[in-house]
Amino acid sequence: MLTIHTADEGGAVAVEGARVVGVGTLAEVQERFPGARVRSWPGTLVPARIHEGPLPDAPSPRERIHAVLKTGATAVLAEHVDSPELRSAADRNGVMILPGPRPPALTDQGRADLAVFDESGECIATVCAGRLLHRRR
């Protein structure tokens, strides 16, 4: 399903499946994709982060990966994925395991990894490969 994610600052990202299909202002993206579902978020929409340090402690590998998603990150560094169970949990959720850091970006036809942060810097939502995997209630 084609979804346009937008936030208070006016930027918008059109997502279809796991890919970004358009980036611009809300008006520009809606003009390109009339009839698309619009999901509006309070806060600032940015490319998802890369979690560069050790993964948060949690009782299970799944919960460790979810803790990363709650920070607005959709990728972790390979050096911190220290077990097959943790690698499996990352794979099941679409979290990328990277050999090293790289700058996050939202590009046309790129992977749809984005996050929304409130004015205090807390993550409101994380979209990983086009799927909403974290939303603060």
Q: What is the pLDDT of residue 91?
A: 97
Q: What is the pLDDT of residue 112?
A: 98
Residues of the chain scoring pLDDT < 50: none
Q: What is the pLDDT of residue 1?
A: 83
> What topology does CATH give the domain 2-48+106-135?
Urease, subunit C; domain 1 (2.30.40)
Q: What is the pLDDT of residue 81?
A: 96
Q: What is the pLDDT of residue 137?
A: 73
Instruction: Please report where in the chains the tokens 């709650």 appear, as a residue.
Output: 70
Q: What is the pLDDT of residue 9?
A: 81
Rounded Cα–Cα distance for residues 19 and 24 (Å) = 15
Instruction: Give span(s): CATH 2.30.40.10, the chain.
Output: 2-48+106-135
Structure pTM?
0.93
